[in-house]
Amino acid sequence: MAAAPAPKRALQLWAEYLQVARGLSPHTVSNYLRDATMLMAGQQAIPTKRQAIEAHFTNLKTASPRSNARRLSALRQFYGYALQKGWIENNPTQDIPAPKLPQSLPKALTTTQVEQLLAAPLGHSPAEVRLRLILFLLYASGMRVSEMAGLTLHDVQQAEGPWLLVTGKGSKTRPVPLGPIGQEMLATYLREARSRLRGAQGPWLLAGPSGKRPLTRNRIFQLVQEAGQRVGVKVAPHHLRHTFATHLLEGNADLRSVQLMLGHASLNTTQIYTKLNTQRLKSALDNHHPLNQAGFGKPRKPC
């Protein structure tokens, strides 16, 4: 067995492996590293006992099951890497059960809310043309906000026809179709607005002020939120992604196509939207069928 480095050095090597060999984004690597560092803090050697890891989670009394599930996933990947390097003899996280998570359904906007948002009275300044493009692309393509932020002019130019080349999780690239309106918005932005924005000399479709980096996820979140506030719609970028998928399935799109457009690795992830549709059907029945209205169909008292 190879000599194990100190925990801090081991985490540094693991982070380099995640970013270089596995191609994970700096944001994802930073999250994994933060979660694993919580266990390693103050340790002189890499903990190798299952009991020590379980005690670590027990001490996180205020952590939610979702947070602990994420932390356990990060630790499993770190220990898998340590095992591969020969620093440990077995993975102590392998048999630790993941916390049970309550299944939450994504929040989707109604078609009326989407129409209000997209028809918001924006002006014709470069920033407002960019905002209109952001709103339309999120709803028209279902891409993640991080995927939108990472789009370059090369991604637009290399695509054939009405497509964008989107780089998703694990640096996997997929073509994402755009409808006629999305194509028109993109062409208008490139023709009339982008060159007049700060940072236009950079390679990014949605460039940040310096041009060296794209607009941040937080800035896109803020812009979308502010657009919603103008028309009284509470919205964030992930709501438009969920709405994209929900509206497709409500229109009888097949699940496999929606999976590919969303960039889900597993069809199981996409299936949550079918449960959302079922819930909406039940709500429609409860609220609108005559048999569920007060007094309808009940026997009348004899005169």
For 39-73, write each residue's pLDDT tens digit. Answer: 888 888 898 888 888 888 888 766 788 888 888 98
Per domain, the residue ranges of the chain are 7-85, 111-284
Please give the average per-residue pLDDT across 240-249, as a whole number.
87
pLDDT at 76: 92
pLDDT at 301: 57
pLDDT at 211: 82
Sign of CA dihedral 192, 197, 203, 204: negative
- Between residues 107 and 219, which one has the greater pLDDT? 219
pLDDT at 86: 92
| Residue 103: pLDDT over 80 | no
Contacts of 237 (CB under 8 A, 6+ apart): 138, 144, 145, 148, 220, 221, 224
Catalytic residues: 144, 169, 238, 241, 264, 273
| pLDDT tens, residue by residue, 9-36 | 999 999 999 988 888 888 888 989 998 9
Contacts of 87 (CB under 8 A, 6+ apart): 1, 2, 3, 4, 5, 10, 46
Q: In whole numbers, what is the pLDDT of the chain averaged over residues?
A: 82
Q: How confident is the model at residue 213 (pLDDT cuts 50, 70, 90)?
A: confident
* pTM assigned to the model: 0.61
Tell me if the domain spanning 111-284 has CATH number 3.30.420.40.
no
| pLDDT tens, residue by residue, 131-165 | 999 999 999 888 889 888 989 888 886 655 667 88
Query: CA–CA separation, 208 vs 229, rounded Å?
Result: 23
Question: Around Cβ 133, how many Cβ atoms within 10 Å?
Answer: 23
Q: How confident is the model at residue 289 (pLDDT cuts 50, 70, 90)?
A: very low
pLDDT at 160: 59
Q: What is the DSSP string of 92-153?
A: TTTTSPPPP----PPP---HHHHHHHHT----SSHHHHHHHHHHHHHHHH---HHHHHT-BH
- Between residues 250 and 110, which one has the greater pLDDT? 110
